[in-house]
Structure 1
């Protein structure tokens, strides 16, 4: 396939990703996510559509809730778009579009592509589809705790699929990844996937690393609920000399042209025709300022960012700084920096910490470099630097250092859901006993929104959408959004 055809495929897929975040698609809930439509095509044809569906939703609408709940930005006091998120007032009518699209779009297409690839012995597409399917399924599990899985996508054969628990789903995803990794991806039977692989350009070694790094993340998710399984899985990865990501697993082909923009930008700025809805949060800006972190310019276009206090949208502010967005920003699935941080955590938990400092330093360096500040990182991580790794500290102190640096990094690349998940898994960054307006507030600690409706408890999940409940009699009873999911700190 020549370059012009490849670009045409990308344009079609990128246009679809913007449709995903548009108003019409947001309100279109007529497609049953548990009934697979008739699809024809090859894995090579269907896979790009699935990947862009994942990119459009997780990198767009869902990224916004992750960013607000991770306290990178907050609802502007002069507008109303995201007040319910900042007040933790999520209803069953919210996120129906993303839920339906990830099922009827992304997952339906992944399963079709995987079935087609398996029958044809196209193992490169099988690995690519398996990894992205696992990433998408896990994101839904992490948001909803239970989802239709083992009985889903049977069409009329089962219109009321059961909801599987998250741990069971994770176990199956790990098995599927192992199966895909066991296949012979050296064959050219399926041609060169570079033409429609928008993540690695057909580099299958990087897909193997992506698969291993995703497995590592899944096992680290389990440390609270199934510590023995987590340890055994991680030790097995290292025993078998698994290679992990040393580059970004990310979609980076966005342009400033409408219909080919970053989905976060398209959803929040282009769709709404305003760039002022999301304002700098005092939680993040105070931490950046306290550490003289130069990345504040990348996030807020200023070294003198004027923030709002998180969730303080009923107060009046004379001037506040807008969170910086660009139509060409990437959507990261697992970044190079995150890979290093995951490895550092694993080494601290299970291998006595040997090599953890070096990986932590590489993580901070990659995080700075992603924003163009790679040349400025050395003073921060050297001895005496504000981000120096606490090599002589306790395990909790080391884990906190790793997770807080991940939090700072996840503000970039439409990757903020991971910061929300990490907070629920580890408790870091810490939660402040006082609001950020108080003199005793410690920069970077999470604060409860003054307009929160959950009695002082932070959100931990989303609620099942009405569109699912009205169609599937097996939808579990609704639980508060403050109830932790299966892998979180209980």
Structure 2
């Protein structure tokens, strides 16, 4: 873990000059000590937000999109994303060629720790509180990926080179407490001479405290929903009561945790999801755009419900939408070729109009959407945890998903009247399944990791397994501790027992 202190760098787009929110630079000046003498709080904080959402929209979303049932690859890309298609945990954890989920998250956590300390020193409690909330987000995400992780000793740098691991359940509780503390810090903030004021440097909520409270509560609600099958109801009830007592509620239909630092039509400065999965600054389609296709399963689910989002998500081939089989190891069947399958739809394929996922190079990055929040509230209401009616939350969530995916609002009524969509038409014991189905359709390629999380929690939806899985019943349940951690803190990592990708579970799973 001390490797973080030695080589710490965001390694991602960072931002400054937030009087206009349009200038980017790399934080290359003494990144091991980014104090006031190098970079101001107003530059470091947006950099931390951008780094966090870049990880979410990049490696995290990509893992979820493959393992959550959304993405597969064409015949021509049979050798692409092999580790994700075959659940090769050893390759994913590899120091050089793996997927550095652990390293990136802890780098971001350490950066937020420096921000938090500087903010507390100057009594900039808004920045300190927001940093705590984002740290809570990252710690929760790490548990979802790895289970037991370091928490108390994790961000001590050279002081503790081999931090102790704590049980995932314990880290969840501490992360939720950290978020609660962040809310209180923001409420206690007072402007004054020499105290940084949150404003334009908040590239998510523009310094609006109420939105930070609602976002924080929604992150906590997601963490509580995650525990629905863990036999932890007394704790859930107590934490829901704290959210109710705080009083701000959750992100509603008009409130999204979108991050907009001022993307530019310049290499490395476009919206990263656009630049990685759609087009380069030169207007050329990316390798990922050519390789990735929707699964036949996701196409079939939209088609079965006459879902109008389908036409905005993908390009029709010969008048129909055609997907691929996840993990298909064969490149011989022409129906799964690049030419015969549906690519993502963007403005170039949509008469220069915004499409479901790709709207423009400057579209904001999604950290958490209003529709995810509403689906969480629908499930919580259906379980009797919160007030309000599950049906209302559910229907509003679909409406907001339609809005995001550029579907006319008038299409909702006919869609919702279908027996396979209507909340009232679902049997009493199938309403949670109905919520999860629509949540899955809404989060496609946006917050795909939540599809994998719901599948691990509930086994829903009934996502087909990879054809390249190590066995017909093997499913990815977690990530293995990375090689970088094994090299520097193996004694502690080894104490956690089995971390096999297809057999070791996260604490909140069934």
C-alpha displacement of 1:90: 2.9
Aligned to 1:12, the other structure's residue is in SS state strand
Look up the match of 1:406.
439
| SS state at 1:350 partner | coil
- Whether the aligned pair in 2 keeps the contact of 1:365 and 1:374 (CA below 8 Å) is no
Per-residue Cα deviation, 1:190-215 (whole angstroms, up to 9, x for no partner): 44422211111222211111011111
Distance in 2 between residues matched to 1:67 and 1:81, nearest whole Å: 14
| Structure-2-length-normalised TM-score | 0.81
The 1:191/1:152 distance shift into structure 2, 3 A limit, reads closer
From 295, 300, 303, the counterpart of 2:309: 295
- Give 3-state SS (helix, strand or coil) of 1:333's partner: strand
Moved more, 356-365 or 48-57: 48-57
> How far apart, in 1, do the equivalents of 2:509 and 2:314 lie?
32
Aligned equivalent of 1:209: 214
Moved segments of 4+, more than 4 Å:
7-10, 268-273, 351-354, 380-385
User: d(CA) in 1 for partners of 2:363 and 2:507?
Assistant: 30
Structure 1's unaligned 5+ residue stretches are 20-35, 431-445
- Contact kept, 8 Å, 2:237 with 2:385, in 1: the verdict is no
Please give the secondary structure, in 2, of the residue aligned with 1:472.
helix
- For residues 104-123 of structure 1, the aligned pairs below 5 Å read 104=107, 106-123=108-125
Q: Which runs of 5+ in 2 are unaligned?
A: 1-14, 346-356
Q: 1:238 aligns with which of 244, 248, 258?
A: 244
- Pairwise CA distance, 1:383: 4.2
The reply on whether 1:75 has 2:73 as its aligned counterpart is: yes
Q: Distance in 1 between matches of 2:507 and 2:432?
A: 17
| Cross-structure match for 1:277 | 291
Distance 1:384 1:281 in 2: 24
Q: Which moved more, 1:137-146 or 1:352-361?
A: 352-361
Q: Deviations over 1:34-58 (max 9, x none)?
A: xx93331343332122212212222
Per the alignment, do residues 466 and 261 of structure 1 end up closer, same or farther by CA in structure 2, a change over 3 Å counting? same
Which residue of structure 2 aligns with residue 440 of structure 1? none
**TM-score, with length taken from structure 1:** 0.84
* Partners of 1:369 and 1:159 in 2: CA distance: 48
Deviation at 1:110, TM superposition (A): 0.5
Residue 443 (structure 1) aligns with: none
| Alpha-carbon RMSD | 2.7
CA apart distance, 1:411: 1.1
Deviation string 1:356-397 (CA, Å, 9 cap, x unpaired) is: 111111111111111111414432454445411137732x41
1:38 counterpart = 2:72: no
The aligned length equals 451
Quick one: distance in 2 between partners of 1:133 and 1:11? 25
Matching of residues 306-455 of structure 1 within 5 Å? 306-315=322-331, 316-318=333-335, 319-324=340-345, 326=358, 327-351=361-385, 354-380=388-414, 382-384=416-418, 386-390=420-424, 393-394=427-428, 396-413=429-446, 415-430=447-462, 446-455=463-472
Contact 2:377 2:386 in 1 (8 A): no
Q: Is the 8 A contact 2:49 2:259 kept in 1?
A: no
In structure 1, which of residues 87, 91, 97 is the aligned counterpart of residue 100 of structure 2?
97
Other-structure match for 2:85? 86
| Counterpart-to-counterpart distance in 2, 1:96 and 1:448 | 21
Query: Are 1:142 and 1:485, in contact at CA under 8 Å, matched by a contact in 2?
Result: no
The DSSP-based 3-state class of the residue aligned with 1:279 is strand
Q: What is the deviation of 1:149? A: 1.8
Matches of 2:477 and 2:411 in 1, distance apart?
33
Matches of 2:41 and 2:116 in 1, distance apart? Answer: 7
Aligned to 1:26: none
SS for the counterpart of 2:24 is helix
Q: Distance in 1 between matches of 2:388 and 2:99?
A: 45
**Cα distance in 2, alignment partners of residues 383 and 267 from structure 1:** 37
Q: Tell me if the contact between 1:149 and 1:164 (Cα under 8 Å) persists in the aligned partners.
A: yes
1:130-209 alignment, distance < 5 Å: 130-183=132-185, 184-185=187-188, 187-189=190-192, 190-209=195-214
CA apart distance, 1:68: 0.8
